[in-house]
Chains A and B, each alone.
Chain A
Amino acid sequence: MAGGCDEYWREVSVAGVPVRYCRCGAGSPVLILHHDIGCPDRAPFAEALSVNHDVLMPVHPGFGLGSERAEWMRSVRDLAVLYRGLLAGLGIGRATLVGLGFGGWVAAEMASMAPADVDRLVLVGAMGLQPREGFILDQALVGYIDYAEAFFKDPAAFDAVYGREPTNDQLEAWDICREMCFRIAWKPYMYSQTLAPLLGSVTAPALVVHGADDGVVPADCAAQYAAALPNARLETVADCGHAVALERPEALARLVQDFIGE
């Protein structure tokens, strides 16, 4: 998407912050929210969805080189409110929200604060809830490449996205993403203590997806989302790590397209 269609990139000011987003395709609106390690140059998952949908994929402000951060932002819920503002500003009332990993947490927050504006909700390896077993991997303790590699089951899939030796620009971008994660999700780390009860109001159909070999977010988080959302279904993608959209883009696109078409 981003790689092949530069003309689809736009920028709009929301809450005083410039938000870059890619908009591509036609159909019902789908908002895709990316991982905490930034928005990769190529997004085959989003491209596949854009065949049948009006796909919007913003870069979280402050996540990556050239992405201005919101100095005032202090929580992931703040980011979710900002995206509510983005959609409203674009005149999009109801949308399908697709959140990837950290972006899944943002999507769940967005859904909880305006349940009626959710067409469908897709959470893929979503952070945001405290696992009852295990922990969400602490990126503060591992190197930039090690953390990104942990998103994949198959090292070759990492290479395909970032290259065997990620560039120094990429390293710097990951450090900037990491700083922004610390700014808004440091404590408790990568989950909310108040989100779970609020999910009960989200009656829209929800699809909770989890990579069977997710080494970043424990499977229990997916189980909790599926239990807390009244109308949710849980799907596990076999032979796949945390970054399902990057490691198994076609499989995920199929799942999501079928789900939206139901």
Chain B
Amino acid sequence: MHLMYFTEQPMSTYPADKGLEFGATALMFSNRYFDPVDGSRLYNEFLEQYLYAEEVGIDGIMLNEHHNAPFCMQAKANIFAAILAGMTEKVKIVMLGNPLPLAENPVRLAEELAMIDMISRGRLVSGFVRGGGQEQLAAGVNPAYNRERFEEAHDLVVRAWTETGPFRFEGRHYQNRVVNPWAVPLQKPYPRVWVPGVISRETIVWAAEQRYPYIALNTSIADTKKIWQTYDDVALEAGYEAGPENRGYLIQVHVSDNEEKAIENARQFRWMQGEFTGLAHPVWSTPSGYSSPRNRRAFVEFAAGRRANPRGQTSFEQQMEDLRIIAGTPDTVVPKLRRILEETRPGILALWGNDGTVSQEDSMTCIRMIGTEVFPAIREIAKELDLKSPFEAEAPVSIRYSTDLKAPAAAAE
């Protein structure tokens, strides 16, 4: 079991009333409300949290990025990854992930990640994402080619990592006439790639085809099981049997030494007016062409206010009930996590420990209790349930480097 700590790095001091007044807290919500004095303090507090996470024995630090919104202060995940590469000794630096379509030059991204891998002495896990709809608009990147760019940039990055240069890459969206980076990853054949996601079936299928672990982001147990069913089916077709080493899960868990306080702090998971990514116009979060055509009808109806959000929206209480938010002391938190592990059998688990205006002191308490009480108990449960991480299972980095592939089930009959 690989156990990680995650924070969205919330810009918690923005004036919430101004967001409500404007009617949105994303993309077009003015950065006049971003106070760099608070920003400077918060970035350093997050750094303190990460260093402490390593100190209390957490295996990995999960990093991500978003743009133009207070819910996440990381505008470039590689910045914190680079800092942690130099300042930590043991933790895995787990990017979940770099939004590939936003890259205008994936080779440069490959270079940055190779540097992080070398500086960290091989501790990089290089996850990739499509980036949310709003990220495309914030970066001026065409949402209609999001998936094409994602897949093509991935191929270019992997080639830049694994093929001897110089070589030439002529893609549909990327043309690099000389690929020859003088920075290549320390880990061979290349750093592990994990793929996080929530809703897109296409991404689950793609991850399974690549044999990359898929990290379900705070989905309900029922939805998580559906994701694994899709993944497992594709895996069988691709010639391997998926197991816990292919499955990751991120869940909002706040731990405290006091039940009431834990629940009070956990309410902060809904700090952005109930939407963790903030309030936004639906056409910002799902620009035309960004989503699968299968979802088009549902999204246009949602955008016109004629139906509920196809991505779902549930209350704090319902999320507690569904175990999408867990809060309490280690004694109450561990049995709930056990149920999730039993039902969904992941080999990678990330706890999103705190959000919104939870104080630095409470965040540090949460991290300490996760590291010294919750995770030791989870490790025992994982052993009992035989939930191995990709590292423990020595899983191949990707399908291309698999030596155990069977003929597809259908063809064998």
Contacts and interface: CB of A to CB of B under 8 A. Distances in A.
A171 B299 CA distance: 10
Interface string B22-61: 0000011000000000000000000000000000000000
Contact of B283 (A141, A172, A176): A141
Nearest to B144: A182
Contact of A168 (B288, B289, B297): B297
B202 to A, nearest CB: 16
Contacts of B391: none
A134 interface: no
B396 interface: no
Interface string B291-313: 00000110111011010000000
A171 B143 contact: no
B92 to A, nearest CB: 37
A132 interface: no
A171 B302 CA distance: 10
Contacts of B300: 144, 168, 171-172, 174-175
A179 B296 CA distance: 11
Interface size class on chain B is: 20 to 34
Contacts of B283: 140-144
B287 interface: yes
A172 B294 CA distance: 12
B143 to A, nearest CB: 6
A182 B303 contact: no
B140 A171 contact: no
Interface residues of A, number: 19
B25 to A, nearest CB: 15
Main secondary structure of the interface of A (DSSP, over half): helix
Contacts of B270: none
A144 B137 CA distance: 16
Contacts of A183: 142, 144-145, 289
B169 interface: no
B261 interface: no
A143 B305 CA distance: 10
Contacts of B288: 140, 175-176, 178-179, 181-182
A140 B137 CA distance: 8
Interface string A121-147: 000000000000000000011111100
B301 A182 contact: no
Interface in B119-147: 137, 140, 142-145
A187 B142 contact: yes
B296 to A, nearest CB: 6
Nearest to A189: B140
Interface in A194-229: none
A187 B140 CA distance: 8
A186 interface: yes
Contacts of A176: 288, 296
B304 A182 contact: no
Contacts of A144: 283, 300, 303-304
9 contacts: A141-B28, A168-B297, A168-B306, A175-B288, A175-B296, A181-B288, A182-B142, A182-B144, A183-B289
Given A171-B303, A172-B296, 12 more contacts: A141-B28, A141-B283, A143-B283, A144-B304, A171-B301, A175-B296, A175-B299, A175-B300, A176-B296, A179-B289, A183-B144, A187-B142
Q: Which 6 A-B pairs have the closest CB atoms?
A: A179-B289, A178-B288, A179-B288, A171-B300, A182-B144, A186-B142
